[in-house]
A and B are shown apart, each in its own frame.
Chain A
């Protein structure tokens, strides 16, 4: 491989003019490096710039500023058909007037491949997506999942360096989507090529990706592995967008090495030993963040550090877990408790107004910058 990175975006900006005549930056100074052979996801809600970024890699859009590099080469205004990347479209974009075979063969014909080679490669691609025997069908005679596979086969048959996928599973039902997630991931590992995957579904991104770029308002909010994104979000947006988080206002009391002591007014408590992944100064107003499943409900008689008393507001049973909403001096917190025991006995639930003790491990707690 010519370069360490399959794709690189350097300070890329894409500006559009809205119908009202205003100029907006759909992609606002995005820099990211996508390594060879990795499953990379761009995650964000609609309008965050993820699809526009993907389209700039594909060559359907050109950056207003900055540069896209593929295999170390600046792309400039290189048209899509001269880039070694292929796209699986959200709508699949299958050619309805062609059979499955013709759809997959199209890209090879454009390369000028001979008929024998086309036959061999299309056959292999069909095998790869388990559609052997469907060659002569037209796309609309296939189910959504099968059409999706044709779209994948049509892109992969070109043996691209990078496969771009724009919310490819968005139109499928949940069960099929989960199946296809695992299948795509397996396919990527088997082929060893780079996948760049755009999705708004965080579970999908966490399941499949080696690394994720969480995007919002045209910017990369955090770029890291799924574990880092979930366990060590670097700002409030990411902590809120990925999974769920309880946020509490706080003020730094003292800093020692990479640990801080924070006073949290709503708990009326100082929490010490909080890990710091960013630079903070003494006395800084911060946000303390903790995931609902990382708060434990302690035995009523428990004593020691990190315990605080709260009132139960509501308790919701959702099968695998019970969600307990509590009030801590006017602040609403969510606590998730796994149902390890049978809940058939109604008295095993917490009732409204009941006082319980929560236990909060400092190492599960994050301090984040105030927006």
Chain B
């Protein structure tokens, strides 16, 4: 046995992968199967699961309600579809804004003097040392009616003798977007920086040598070679944004309800784990579909990383 382990590279690999595989099996695969089973069940009046096989939770998610106002048997209410759409849109927007903000910064860091790079990367990482929730609360302090932003603008307006009523920024979709962008920016900066930093300086020189100006060098050489970083960053940002409920809970209030909030409420407030499970699975499938098409178009970028 030990002899075999010493000789076989694949046996060594199996042994090394075993702890994590077990961990994932117990804490990911089994819970997922349980979630699937529960999602087909029914809620008992006191909030327990009655195991059965019904698609009711899924039809309810799709908008076919059995709880209709004027006595009809079924009616259509796109409430949950709207929540899913809102989550998707927000995830797309967040990712887009994060890419646009992260790319120039990553480019700047990658092109900075090697001594300074470490410092800049350090600065990108510092916010991550503070608790996620605390950082969102900080944004609440900034955005609320009596918050820092309104105070500063009010003070400026007063100085210029312009009438000013405090802006309603908190509990808006914009506030959630700002919070999400802030939370996930580092996860886009780091992979883009890594792929930019790998590009050898001689490639920029070769492009210039062959007649490309700075703009065309960027479009034809820099951007394609840094796509693996953009793809990796997108996966790291898009997926969590789709599921997070803390940011929308604190900065969106009742105004901006996302799938994450929906799921959370089903398990805690509404005490309907069956519907919560169905929503969780739909969220997962939706994320998988988007990620699948995205990576099929752009790849995981592994071939460029390998080179």
Residues of A within 8 A of B203 (CB): 93, 95
Partner-contacting stretch, out of B19-27, B124-132, B218-226: B218-226
Residues of A within 8 A of B202 (CB): 89-91, 93
B196-226 to A contact mask, C-beta < 8 Å, 1/0:
0000101101111111110010001100110
Is B212 touching A81 in the complex (CB atoms < 8 A)? yes
Judged by a CB distance under 8 angstroms, whether B157 is at the interface is: no
Is B209 touching A80 in the complex (CB atoms < 8 A)? yes
Judged by a CB distance under 8 angstroms, whether B289 is at the interface is: no
Is B210 touching A110 in the complex (CB atoms < 8 A)? yes
Residues of A within 8 A of B210 (CB): 81, 86, 106-107, 110, 154-155, 158
Judged by a CB distance under 8 angstroms, whether A111 is at the interface is: yes
Is B304 touching A106 in the complex (CB atoms < 8 A)? no
Smallest CB-CB separation from B199: which chain A residue?
Answer: A96
Judged by a CB distance under 8 angstroms, whether A234 is at the interface is: no
Residues of A within 8 A of B213 (CB): 79, 81
Is A87 touching B205 in the complex (CB atoms < 8 A)? yes
Smallest CB-CB separation from B202: which chain A residue?
Answer: A93
Is B304 touching A87 in the complex (CB atoms < 8 A)? no
Instruction: Name the one of B205, B211, B307 contacting A110, with C-beta atoms under 8 angstroms.
Output: B211
Judged by a CB distance under 8 angstroms, whether A97 is at the interface is: yes
Known contacts A91-B200, A97-B304, A110-B216; is-contact A81 B224 (Cβ 8 Å): no
Residues of B within 8 A of A90 (CB): 202
Residues of A within 8 A of B206 (CB): 87, 89, 93-95
Number of interface residues of A (CB under 8 A): 24
Residues of B within 8 A of A94 (CB): 206
Judged by a CB distance under 8 angstroms, whether A58 is at the interface is: yes
Is B211 touching A81 in the complex (CB atoms < 8 A)? yes
Residues of B within 8 A of A60 (CB): 205, 208-209
Instruction: Name the one of A91, A93, A111 contacting B211, with C-beta atoms under 8 angstroms.
Output: A111
B54-86 to A contact mask, C-beta < 8 Å, 1/0:
000000000000000000000000000000000
Which A75-120 residues have C-beta < 8 A from chain B?
A: 79-81, 86-87, 89-91, 93-97, 106-107, 110-111
Report how far A154 CA is from B210 CA in the complex, Å.
8
Is B208 touching A79 in the complex (CB atoms < 8 A)? yes
Residues of B within 8 A of A86 (CB): 209-210
Smallest CB-CB separation from A85: which chain B residue?
Answer: B209
Instruction: Name the one of B208, B224, B307 contacting A140, with C-beta atoms under 8 angstroms.
Output: B307
The smallest beta-carbon distance between B266 and chain A, in angstroms, is 46
Report how far A141 CA is from B6 CA in the complex, Å.
34
Is B200 touching A81 in the complex (CB atoms < 8 A)? no
Is B208 touching A96 in the complex (CB atoms < 8 A)? no
The smallest beta-carbon distance between A234 and chain B, in angstroms, is 34
Instruction: Name the one of A89, A97, A107 contacting B224, with C-beta atoms under 8 angstroms.
Output: A97
- Name, among A86, A91, A106, the residue most crowded by chain B CB atoms within 10 Å (CB to CB): A106
Smallest CB-CB separation from B228: which chain A residue?
Answer: A97
Smallest CB-CB separation from A160: which chain B residue?
Answer: B209
Report how far A96 CA is from B220 CA in the complex, Å.
12
The smallest beta-carbon distance between A54 and chain B, in angstroms, is 12
Smallest CB-CB separation from A83: which chain B residue?
Answer: B209
Report how far A87 CA is from B209 CA in the complex, Å.
7
Is B221 touching A93 in the complex (CB atoms < 8 A)? no
Query: Can you name 9 extra interface pairs (CB under 8 A) apart from A60-B205, A93-B203?
Result: A59-B208, A80-B209, A81-B211, A86-B210, A89-B202, A91-B200, A94-B206, A96-B304, A97-B304
Which residues of chain A have a CB within 8 Å of any CB of chain B?
58-60, 79-81, 86-87, 89-91, 93-97, 106-107, 110-111, 140, 154-155, 158
